[in-house]
Structure 1
Amino acid sequence: MTNDPLKAAWRQGTPPVHHDLQALVRAKGGHPVMSRIRRQLLLEGGSYTVFLLVYYDFFDGHTKPLYLNIILVLSVACMLVQHINGYLLAAGRMREPDILQSLQQKMRQLKQYAWLSVGSRVLGWAGILLFFCTGITWTTPKYWLLAGATVIMTIQMGLLWQLWQRRINRINETLLAFRD
């Protein structure tokens, strides 16, 4: 018997039931980060799909040469496949026997994915620009508009590259902390 009511309440309390964490996460619909990635994938994938379904009529795809239509479809498909690849990379489990090897493996995968992510976006947007810029009668304001769009896309690609470098550096710092 104790005079401290807090200790008495602690001793009378029942210990919490520990559930399997993975089962709990699955029951709640997945990890919140994975839910956001999945939502972004569905939104962008749906947008790409709608674009591919309507471009032929809305953007005069029927008047463009076949090779431009193929370039456009491949460009959009390339970006969509890269999004799916990113989701699968994020959802993939670490398969190595210990945390250090798993982080090293994830680091290699992220470095490869960063190059592919930025590269697929550059190629994708280049294909889209090629499709829309072919057949235009070019004037000075249109050249300025194209230059502005190119600058904006270059800035976006630079920011995307920096984002990936920050993520990779964070994992690298964790790896260095494990080695010390």
Structure 2
Amino acid sequence: MDTLKSAWKGMETEHTQQEKLRGMLLERRHPVLKDIRWQMIIEVIIFSVLLLVYYDFFDGDRKPLYANLLLAGSLLFAVLHSIGGYLLARRKIYDANLSQSLMRSLSAMRRFAFMSISSRAATAVCLLLFFTAAISFNTGKYIILAGIAVIFLIQMWILIRMWRNRIRRLEDSVRSLQGQ
């Protein structure tokens, strides 16, 4: 009898399932939005701190003006991009037709993926330009630069694959709703 009572108490009723779903729809409790928000907060803090200290810590006064402007611009763009990504992810869809909603989301995701990849590439290139602007290169430094470039290319490949998979999953959802 005790086993039956504990099983009865442990069962989720339709009401408790609906409450869990309602709780997940709240922005602060949504599991995906929570992860995106933490990523955004971490990125904004890191980029903002780097933006505040790069001139003093990394001898910005000894670098050319273009390198300083490019670095500051790319870091500001990265901060704005992170915030924009979070706002895009939390945007609710209010279309009458689910298929149209998914098509609109797919279009927005493609645009954001392009911006995401471009933003990361621009930030990495600007960081490299800034840190290499006042360096006289020799063979060892060229090897280090090549290693950094390889790491950057691997990161870009991973980012492109990640976005391609996300877009493909959403395209599959759209196709399944359209009956293809």
Q: TM-score range by the shorter chain?
A: 0.7 to 0.9
Question: Percent of pairs identical after alignment?
Answer: 36
Unaligned runs of 5+ in 2: none
Q: Secondary structure at the match of 2:136?
A: coil
Over 3 Å counting, the alpha-carbon distance change for 1:92 and 1:112 in structure 2 is: same
Q: Distance in 1 between matches of 2:49 and 2:171?
A: 39
Which residue of 2 is the match for residue 111 of structure 1?
110
Select between 113-122 and 80-89 the one with higher mean Cα deviation: 80-89
Give the superposition deviation at 1:82.
1.4
Whether the 8 Å CA contact 2:110–2:167 is kept in 1: the answer is yes
Which residue of 2 is the match for residue 162 of structure 1?
161
Give the superposition deviation at 1:15.
7.4
Which residue of 2 is the match for residue 126 of structure 1?
125
Which residue of 1 is the match for residue 49 of structure 2?
50
Q: Distance in 2 between matches of 1:66 and 1:145?
A: 25
Q: Secondary structure at the match of 1:96?
A: coil
Q: Which amino acid aligns with 1:80?
A: V
Q: CA offsets per residue over residues 44-101 of structure 1, 9 Å max, x none?
A: 1101111111111110012222222111100111112111111111111113212110
Unaligned runs of 5+ in 1: none
Q: Which amino acid aligns with 2:118?
A: G
Give the superposition deviation at 1:20.
9.1
Q: Secondary structure at the match of 2:29?
A: coil
Give the superposition deviation at 1:32.
1.4
Alignment of 1:131-142 (within 5 A): 131-142=130-141
Give the superposition deviation at 1:19.
4.5
RMSD: 2.4
Whether the 8 Å CA contact 2:60–2:68 is kept in 1: the answer is yes
Q: Distance in 2 between matches of 1:133 and 1:108?
A: 38
Whether the 8 Å CA contact 2:62–2:134 is kept in 1: the answer is no
Pair 1:67 & 2:66 matched = yes
Q: Distance in 1 between matches of 2:95 and 2:87?
A: 17
Which 4+ runs in 1 deviate beyond 6 A? none
Which residue of 2 is the match for residue 145 of structure 1?
144
Q: Which amino acid aligns with 1:144?
A: I
Q: CA offsets per residue over residues 11-50 of structure 1, 9 Å max, x none?
A: xxx974755954x347683201111111111111101111
Greater Cα radius of gyration, structure 1 or 2:
1
Whether the 8 Å CA contact 2:27–2:33 is kept in 1: the answer is no
Q: CA offsets per residue over residues 110-143 of structure 1, 9 Å max, x none?
A: 1111111101111111111101001101010110
Q: Secondary structure at the match of 2:106?
A: helix
TM-score by length of 2: 0.85
Q: Secondary structure at the match of 1:152?
A: helix
Over 3 Å counting, the alpha-carbon distance change for 1:27 and 1:81 in structure 2 is: closer
Q: Distance in 1 between matches of 2:40 and 2:32?
A: 12
